[in-house]
Chain A
Amino acid sequence: MKMNQEWKKHGIELRPGMRIKGKWHKKSYVIKRKLGSGAIGAVYLCELNGKQAALKISDKGTSMTVEVNVLKSLKKVQGNRLGPYLLDVDDWISPHGTIYSFYVMEYLRGETMTSFINHHGREWIGVFMLQLLEDLERLHHSGWVFGDLKTENLLILHSPPRIRWVDVGGTTQIGRAIKEYTEFYDRGYWGLGSRRAEPSYDLFAFVMVFLHVYYPKRFEKSIQSEKTIFKKIDDVKSLSPYSYLLKKAILGKYQSSYQMKQELIDVLYRVQNRRRSKNKKKRKNTAPFIVEAGGITILAVSYYLFSLLL
């Protein structure tokens, strides 16, 4: 986030090797290295009894408590884990006597979606769309909206590749004002909707996430936001099978992620069938397409079927 540099109190710098001992639960963590920092606090890789974990620390106790509350409520959502698993919540008193709040969560290791798709091919787009919609569906179903959904808050874990949420600090109860957002992903910024937490708010950001993969430098707002975003969607060949869905989500026409997911599954089937029938007519020239289209669909559909079994 651009604002971080301008944000006043950065809090503290922890050095590798430092020990952070909790005031309440007395657990002692050894700091390994810094993983990143955000508007609220910094995240470090740490170790407890030989096990790695991520430790977020900040002098903004209030905001940290709010984040912990979110992580706790996500724990209660049934099924796969939505956010990182929360391990400990405590305070640390620095040698200078300042009190910092920290919490420790599961350390997720993976790669960004952009780099994954660049390395492994665009057939993964449909898969990740499906995975993300499924997670959003579960989250929305339990009364929450992700809020600050953006590429930086997502990670692709390996074998099997699975999209995971790393920062859930913006998660907001449905019907309330979105707690945290990033302009590029925010429909309010584009003038295409309110900042009230509704499923359609996340679905707008969903589209921007996949656009960001192809526009790593993002793009500027203009007076006709809708036209600009539509043009950007149309300009990306890899997104063309989904362009109808993506545009519908930009306009807020999906009431639920379930609805969007169903249409995505239809698209994935249709792409496969069309390519297959084409293939019968001119078998020679289209061989690469079959491989590709078939690949997308088989991956996506088998993932979907597999997830139904779970």
Chain B
Amino acid sequence: MKKGTLKQILLITDGCSNKGEDPAATAALANQQGITVNVIGILDDDQTEDPQGLEEVEEIALSGGGVSQLVYKQSLSQTVQMVTKQAMTQTLQGFVNKELKQILGSNQSLEDLEPEKRGEIMEVVEDMGETCDLEVLVLVDTSASMHDKLPTVKEALIDLSISLNARIGRNRFCIFNFPGKRKDIQKVFDWSPKLDEVSTIFPELTSGGITPTGPAIRGAMYQFGKNYLRSFKDEDEPGMEEAWN
């Protein structure tokens, strides 16, 4: 099977969007372009697990073909890497399911196979998850309420890079924050194989309570196009991008 590149947007936020288009709609658009949108909603310590203002987190991930999770900041590191890996498996499994349908007929999916055969197929999915290349664009909400959470976010992202770089496949990360000064999103850190201490310095927080999540996702989507020409080009086979679509 051909090796491919998985593309993910990882949105980290603590509140509801309040400006621009519906983020679930832009996430659906991104998904159409072969980009998975994952969302992590950070809860404040005094919030319950079913808080107001974070309902859209699940919506965005659902239309973005990704995984969502609400979490207190203490567990952010483990959650970030779990969500990313789960989404990878989910995407790859979707791809395998499509192939299965072509081979076995339109109504067959992994769940319709008996457990023994399922096991063999999951081994293939795991192999792919271990060896495929991965691009993650981290999109961090830097509105005022995120202030005390950013150091934890930074730690979690470095930790994510440790986890993913233990894989055999190659990785590229970049970090954007939103809202940007004059634009929807602003680059914090350009595409690179590794995140480390120095690379994750967030700019000053924006105040005013504007959270344009929708436009931010749209902005993030275009960053993959730019990146596509540059990243991995040395070793890639032509046409590999299509392998996942």
Q: A6-B70, A188-B163 are in contact. Are A62 and B89 (CB under 8 A)?
A: yes
Q: Which residues of A contact B111 (CB under 8 A)?
A: 61, 91, 99
Q: A2-B75, A6-B72, A195-B163 are in contact. Are A24 and B89 (CB under 8 A)?
A: no
Complex Cα gap A89–B167 (Å): 29
Whether B130 pairs with A69 at a CB distance below 8 angstroms is no
Complex Cα gap A68–B159 (Å): 28
Q: Which residues of B contact A2 (CB under 8 A)?
A: 74-75
Whether A66 pairs with B122 at a CB distance below 8 angstroms is yes
Q: Which residues of B contact A196 (CB under 8 A)?
A: 166
Whether A6 pairs with B49 at a CB distance below 8 angstroms is yes
Q: Which residues of A contact B125 (CB under 8 A)?
A: 62
Complex Cα gap A6–B42 (Å): 11
B164 smallest CB distance to A (angstroms)? 7
Whether A177 pairs with B49 at a CB distance below 8 angstroms is no
B45-70 interface code vs A (CB 8 A; 1 in, 0 out): 00001000000000000000000011
B105-137 interface code vs A (CB 8 A; 1 in, 0 out): 000001100111011001101100010000000
Complex Cα gap A196–B130 (Å): 11
Interface-centre pick from B75, B82, B167 (highest chain A CB count, 10 A): B75
Whether B115 pairs with A91 at a CB distance below 8 angstroms is yes
A10-45 interface code vs B (CB 8 A; 1 in, 0 out): 000000000000001000000000000001000000
Whether B71 pairs with A6 at a CB distance below 8 angstroms is yes
A38 smallest CB distance to B (angstroms)? 13
Complex Cα gap A3–B93 (Å): 25
A261 smallest CB distance to B (angstroms)? 26
A178 within 8 Å of B (CB atoms)? yes
A170-196 interface code vs B (CB 8 A; 1 in, 0 out): 000001111000010000110000111
A206-228 interface code vs B (CB 8 A; 1 in, 0 out): 00000000000000000000000
The listed residue (B75, B89, B119, B167) touching A3 by CB distance below 8 A is B75
Interface-centre pick from B69, B71, B119, B166 (highest chain A CB count, 10 A): B166
Q: Which residues of B contact A253 (CB under 8 A)?
A: none
B168-183 interface code vs A (CB 8 A; 1 in, 0 out): 1000000000000000
Q: Which residues of B contact A8 (CB under 8 A)?
A: 69-70
B197 smallest CB distance to A (angstroms)? 11
B162 within 8 Å of A (CB atoms)? yes
B78 within 8 Å of A (CB atoms)? yes
B165 within 8 Å of A (CB atoms)? yes
A72 within 8 Å of B (CB atoms)? yes
Complex Cα gap A238–B187 (Å): 53
Contacting residues of chain B (128-163) with chain A, CB-CB under 8 angstroms: 130, 159, 162-163
List A residues at the B interface (Cβ < 8 Å): 2-3, 6-8, 24, 39, 61-62, 65-66, 68-69, 72, 89-91, 99, 101, 175-178, 183, 188-189, 194-197
**What are 29 contact pairs spanning A and B, CB under 8 A?**
A2-B74, A2-B75, A3-B71, A3-B78, A6-B69, A6-B70, A6-B72, A24-B115, A62-B89, A68-B115, A69-B119, A69-B122, A69-B123, A89-B115, A89-B116, A91-B111, A176-B168, A177-B130, A177-B163, A177-B166, A178-B163, A183-B78, A188-B163, A189-B77, A189-B159, A194-B162, A194-B165, A194-B166, A195-B166
Those 5 A-B pairs whose CB atoms lie nearest each other, nearest first: A177-B166, A195-B166, A196-B166, A89-B115, A65-B122
- With A62-B93, A183-B77 known, 15 other A-B pairs at CB within 8 A are A3-B75, A6-B72, A6-B79, A8-B69, A62-B90, A65-B122, A69-B126, A72-B119, A90-B115, A91-B115, A177-B163, A177-B166, A188-B166, A194-B166, A195-B166
